[in-house]
Every structure is written in structure tokens, then in C-alpha cells.
Structure 1
Amino acid sequence: MFSKYKPTWMVDAIYKITPNQLKKLGINAVLTDLDNTLIAWDNPDGTEELLTWILEMKNAGIPVVVVSNNKSSRIKRAVEKFELDYVSRALKPSTRGFKEAQKKLNMKPEELVMVGDQIMTDIRGANAAGIRNILVRPIVDTDGWNTRINRFFERKIMKHLAKKHPDMLWKGGLE
């Protein structure tokens, strides 16, 4: 029952995922959540670390597309300086936003990876869309009001998954 919430990988932060790691796994593009994955939910300006990571991906020819449940104006303000494409109102965990991003990239699900900090939306949705995924720790320990409810249920699901899958451990990268 909880297998639809199981991440493919668990990595401490999106910034620890490298182009070489992705290429070894046949991954040609990154789909990513916005809040608490790329940027802190309460700081839409991002960090130097984020800019460096995005440049590494661009230089390696790996496009990054934000797939977020946020409205377009919120995402645009956060990502336009990084020149990232995005899908707004993705309705995660439905597959709608994932399919829209896949179509924009003209790639197959096996060429993509979804990175997110929530198993109830990002991981469950990616699994439903047949896309490998990476659960990352949230950038900050606080969340917007709408995410706090999910976090309560996520703790219970993660506890169950950890018992069933002792290999589910946080790592410093995909290797």
C-alpha cells in the first residue's frame, strides 16, 4: 500500500546531485519541485549554491524544469533569474504536471528524474508517472501552512517504509 510513496533514492540536498551521477543512470533531464527543494519556501531569491548547481546542469546539457503546484506568478518570480522552464499548477500527486514537463522536454519517463522534498506529492506523483525520483531533505525546517498537514502523514508513512525497506537511507549523492 505504501510502495507508491517509496522514493527511488534519498539524497541530503538537490545540490549534491551531479551531472555525472545522472548521466551514469541514463538521466537526461531533471524535474524539480520548487519550495524547500530548490529554494526555501520563504526565500524566493535562492542562493549562490543553487545558481552554481543550475549552471553545472546547463553546462552538462541537462535541462532543469520546475514542476510545482504553485501558481505561475509565484514560480516565475522565483525562477526567471535562473532561466528555468516550469509547469505551474501541476496538481501533484496527479500525473498531469509530470506529463506536461515530459512533453516540453520531448523525453521518455526513463530519461527523467523528479527531485522533491515531499513524498505525498513529489514522490507519489513521480511514481505514478513512471519517473524515477529523489527525495531530498527540506531546505528549511518550516513549511507553509498547506504543507504542514502533509508532513504529519509523511512522518507516519516514512516510519512504515523504513521498517520495510532498511536500505532507505539518506545519502550524499546518487553513488
Structure 2
Amino acid sequence: MGLLEHFRPNARAASIADIDATALHEQGFVGLLLDLDNTLLPWKDTNLPESSREWVESAKAAGMKPVLVSNTHYPKRLNFIAGELRIPAIPRSLKPRRHGFEKAAALVGCELEQAVVVGDQLLTDIWGGNRVGAYTVLVNPIHHREFIGTKISRMVERIILGLLGQPARVGTNVEAIKSENKDTK
């Protein structure tokens, strides 16, 4: 595996709403390790979009076990959102390090190979998920407002995606994870 392959997501989606949690569960996935900022809601925001709330509820109904895995330095905010969604959370997970992902998978009772990591950043969510052997899904960020460090990381991500032959963003008409084969790792 070449160095760049560590950053290749298993799948891409315009947003979480384009991810078919039922199809993932039917493929044997159980854990749903979700990033918070710019994946479920805008950075620093506390108003959870109804679409995110509905998607998490539908994922739970499909048999998936979601958990928030976030690098946020604001655990009160993370725990508030986790409470709103009625799911557990791993604060200060230090992605792309393994520990946060391992703790999240253990919390929901699954092996990392049965987990799906969903996030908007290659250098934290996707790289970290790939490091632990999870299935990774890269989504477009839902808002342009970001931490300055993230803005710098985005420049590197665009270069990496270009070298991988992938666009920086995917369109909303993308058919995401409807019939993906989990053996495509």
C-alpha cells in the first residue's frame, strides 16, 4: 500500500443524508463512529440540523450503533449534542490516533472491522479510520466556517485528493453506499 492509500476513503458522500445505513448494516457493519463538526452540524454550532437528527435516528432504527468521536476541546458542547441524539460520545479523541476509535468501538460493542467512520476530514477522520481497519466514508463539510488549523489542513487534503484522482467535493446526486461491497478496503 502506497503512502497516499492511507488517506483513501472507502466511499464518498455529499452528506450523511446520502449514506444508506440500512445497506451498511446488511453488509455486517454495526458501529457508526461519527465526527461532529462539519459532519453533523457546523463548527461551534449547537443547533443540530433536523436532517442530521433524522439520519441518526434512521441509522439506529436500521440496527447501527452510533457514537460521536470528536477532537473538540468543548466537551460540554459535544455531550449536549450527544444527549440530543441519545448516543454516547468520545471527547478529545485525538484523531487520527487509534485510541478514540478503539474506545468508541468498544463502547458500542463491535470490532473495528465492523465499524464505519464518517467524517469530513481526510487527515483526521479518514486516516484514523483507515489506521484501525474501519470502513471510511468521507462527506463534504456542511459549512465553510472552520477552525484556522482545519482551513490549512483542507489545502493539504485537496492536494492528496487530487493525487488520488478524486474531486475535492462530491455532488449531491452521488449514489452513496447503496450496494458497496465492504471487501473493497
TM-score (norm 2): 0.86
Assess if the C-alpha contact under 8 Å between 2:25 and 2:63 holds in 1: no
**Which shows bigger deviation, 102-111 or 115-124?**
102-111
What's 1:8 paired with?
A: 10
Unaligned runs of 5+ in 2: 179-185
* Structure-1 separation of matches of 2:35 and 2:160: 20
2:26 to 24, 27, 37: 24
Distance 1:138 1:105, change over 3 A: same
**Which shows bigger deviation, 126-135 or 72-81?**
72-81
* Structure-2 separation of matches of 1:112 and 1:159: 27
Shift of 1:60: 2.1
Secondary structure of the equivalent of 2:68? strand
Secondary structure of the equivalent of 2:164? helix
- 2:64 is equivalent to residue 62 of structure 1: yes
Shift of 1:69: 0.6
Secondary structure of the equivalent of 1:113? strand
TM-score (norm 1): 0.91
Q: Deviations over 1:15-56 (max 9, x none)?
A: 221232212321112101000001111422111111211211
* Structure-2 separation of matches of 1:38 and 1:169: 17
Q: How many residues align?
A: 172
Distance 1:59 1:24, change over 3 A: closer
Assess if the C-alpha contact under 8 Å between 1:127 and 1:133 holds in 2: yes
What's 1:108 paired with?
A: 111
Shift of 1:169: 6.3
Unaligned runs of 5+ in 1: none
RMSD across aligned C-alpha pairs, in angstroms? 1.8
Matches within 5 A, 1:13-162: 13-71=15-73, 72-162=75-165
- AA matched with 1:5: F
Shift of 1:144: 1.7
Q: Deviations over 1:98-155 (max 9, x none)?
A: 0111111221112110000000000000010111100000001231222111111111
* Structure-2 separation of matches of 1:169 and 1:59: 27
- AA matched with 1:136: V
* Structure-2 separation of matches of 1:91 and 1:153: 19
**Which shows bigger deviation, 76-85 or 7-16?**
76-85
Assess if the C-alpha contact under 8 Å between 1:12 and 1:172 holds in 2: no
- AA matched with 2:161: M
